[in-house]
Amino acid sequence: MRAYTEKIREAAKRLLSEKRVDAVIGFRKGSIPLVNEPVLVKSPERADELYWDGSCGVNLANYLPKRTDRVAIVAKGCDSRNIVVQIVENQIQRDQVYVLGAPCHGMLDRRRILASLKGREPTSVEEVDGQVRITGAGFEETFSRSECLQENCSICIHRNPVISDEMLGEPVAEQENVDRYPDVAKVEGMNPDERKDYFEEITSKCIRCYACRNACPQCYCPTCFVDESRPQWMGKTIDPKDVRTFHFLRAFHLAGRCTDCGACERACPVGIKLRQYTKKLEKDVKEFYGYEAGVRLDERPPLDVYRPGDPENFIK
Amino acid sequence: MTEMYIPKEKLAGVVEDLIGRQRVYGPVFDGAYHNFEEIKSAGALDLAYSNTRLSAKGLFHPHSERMFEYSLASGDPEAGVLKETEKDYSPRVVLGMRPCDARALKIMDRNFNSPQYGDPWWVKRIEATTIVGLACNAPCGTCFCTTAGSGPFDDSGLDAMLVDLGEGYLARAVTDKGSALLSQISKGSAAPADAAQKADALRRSAEAAIGLQFDVGSITGKDSMELFNSPIWEEIQFACINCGTCTFLCPTCWCFDIQDETHGEHGDRIRIWDSCMFPLFTLHGSGHNPRQNKAQRVRQRFMHKLRYYPEKYGDGIACTGCGRCVRACPVNIDIRNVARLMSSSACVRPA
């Protein structure tokens, strides 16, 4: 995927010097292994800062809502879906965005890799031929790339951008026959008490930093319900009541909008499995309405429209 | 007792003895990372760690703390009267705190225990606690304590310090409290003759591994308004998503909010960590917000740590170089890079 770096730089130089766009949103190489920094490049002279590898997991669509300029944006499959959701929700206009589509083989899971290193610190990471070679002080480890992916990437069925103005590479093969919801099915099989305990345990480490919310390209409300202060809707402590309320409300607000890009889990500093909430809603929306968020520009989200013939067999 | 040697096989016994006498806290591995927790049995303590995910500040300044309670019952003569919530100030020892986190407590003292004002809960918790640090033999690549005025063997915030010599720990008292604690330990022995020399060699190699990451003097010496108005903030702020990760993980970010929560006829006044990254942090009752955009908030955090704090107190930056914000920022905003941009000097000596 490093091959995209040169193409991104070339496209950025061209689009900026031809004044097709005012800025390019991409990544520059991070200051530490396994995380790159989102960057806004406004001049062709700075296009060579742009960079691409398997540590570009951050969903760049998060930087689009409410922009007023014309921007090019590097978009993986998931980012492109979030751009579609934002266009459908009128957060950005289609003609403002020039999508540089990045067919994706999945992004590396920094947390998973660090855990498998058992406290040893990586100093460099190389991706070669489906393998990830990690070196640090006095060690070198090679993993198969598939063992290093973010969990949402390993079950991704939209690796190719769903919209693009220019592709950075040939489309990649989509994964087929993926069982996306074995974990959700397990929770569905629990009795209410077990289910409650399961979710209480998941969020027991929450520190209410809102990294999950702020990393989410779909969390763009001018004032989040958590920040409403006149009147205040909910408590801000780490008491389980407050934590639970926050996570359930946030998740429900993403029903039919979440693309399972994994931004929330990637951002969480304490490792909460936030997708356990949103995946259930994603599954329900798919089953009840046959809808996948961010796949088509010409379809309204199911929770945004009323049709007399809407399925209601799940209403009990 | 000012110095002793504790062989590693005797550590569990030492910890069990301490547990019998007072509350004991230390780093505990939860399957994914370490955090400070109360140690109920010696086996839970894990000193083979780099640093905790959350800093040690929560032991003294908890995320959510009930300060007062009050009644709102009609007819209650004491309705509306704040009553201080009882807290446990019994003696406790914190084992294995890293020097950077302990040094951070001294910085927090500027806010919670100044000559003018003492925050009673902070002060009493500090008084009740004996901190036994663990020197860093193998700093992380994200550590920059030596740049920030601390160091891997800095004992300035500690009552006693352990140095891991391989087979055992050299324990040294730093304060009277630390000395009193060491005198309670019966399972230690006299330090071997070469222990001090070994510890010093470890200190020098750890310090050398960290290098100098940026030049504090060239930031603190700069004109405040020039920095405030610098174009660098536009560049730095782009990636920021304005979450509170950096501030909540930071050992020196002390800001909090105070809220009253009522449940029927009962009320609680609660103190909760707050963050300058949040728009609500500075929102006025009038609706005006002096830091309404992200760039202003990002600037505030770095200016406070690296410029305003040194200017106000004259004893270095409000950062101990623990590197948590560098490791945990979801979008790789690296305070070391920010400091280099703020600095007028390129004086950097990499590790």
Pair (A191, A288) in one structural domain? yes
Pair (A165, A285) in one structural domain? no
Pair (A25, A86) in one structural domain? yes
CB-nearest partner of A121 from B54, B140, B336: B140
- Mean pLDDT lowest for which of A29-43, A163-177, B210-224? B210-224
Residue type for B151, please? G
Contact B259 A236 (CB under 8 A): yes
Name the H helices within B66-114.
99-112
Residue type for B237, please? Q
Report, as an integer, the average pLDDT of B204-231.
92
> Best mutation site among B331, B335, B348 for testing chain A: the one with the most A CBs within 10 Å?
B331
Q: Which residues of A touch B294 (CB under 8 A)?
A: none
> What pLDDT does A311 receive?
78
For chain B, give the percent of residues with pLDDT over 90: 93
Q: Which residues of A touch B63 (CB under 8 A)?
A: 207-208, 237-238
Residue-range definition of the domain harbouring residue A27: 1-105+158-178
CB-nearest partner of B239 from A39, A229, A270: A39
Q: How confident is the model at residue B347 (pLDDT cuts 50, 70, 90)?
A: very low
CB contact residues (below 8 A), chain B span 52-71, against chain A:
53-54, 63-64
* pLDDT of B351 strictly over 50: no
Given B167, B189, B210, the domain boundary residue is B210
Pair (B107, B76) in one structural domain? yes
Q: How confident is the model at residue A2 (pLDDT cuts 50, 70, 90)?
A: low
Q: Which residues of B touch A32 (CB under 8 A)?
A: 141-142, 326-327, 332, 334
Contact B33 A30 (CB under 8 A): no
Question: Quick check: bond before B139 cis, omega within 30?
Answer: no
> What pLDDT does B56 receive?
97
CB-nearest partner of B334 from A31, A111, A227: A31
Contact A210 B327 (CB under 8 A): no
- Domain total of chain A: 2
CB of A237 less than 8 A from some CB of B:
yes
For chain A, give the percent of residues with pLDDT over 70: 99
Pair (B90, B134) in one structural domain? yes
CB of A281 closer than 8 Å to CB of A252: yes
CB of B281 less than 8 A from some CB of A:
no
Pair (A168, A241) in one structural domain? no
- Domain total of chain B: 2
* pLDDT of B337 strictly over 50: yes
Whole-number Å distance between alpha carbons of A138 and B149: 29
The per-residue pLDDT of chain B, averaged, comes to 95
Chain B closest-CA separation from residue A50 CA (Å): 14
Pair (A242, A304) in one structural domain? yes
Which pTM does this prediction carry? 0.95
Instruction: Given the cut 0.90, state whether the ipTM is greater than it.
Output: yes
CB-based burial label for B44 (10 Å; 0-12, 13-18, 19+): middle
Q: Give which of B336, B7, B3 is closest to B140, Cα–Cα.
A: B336
Whole-number Å distance between alpha carbons of A131 and A151: 17
Residue-range definition of the domain harbouring residue B145: 3-210
CB of B208 less than 8 A from some CB of A:
no
Q: How confident is the model at residue A172 (pLDDT cuts 50, 70, 90)?
A: very high
A144 assigned to some structural domain: no
Chain A closest-CA separation from residue B304 CA (Å): 19
Pair (B24, B154) in one structural domain? yes
Whole-number Å distance between alpha carbons of B156 and B103: 6
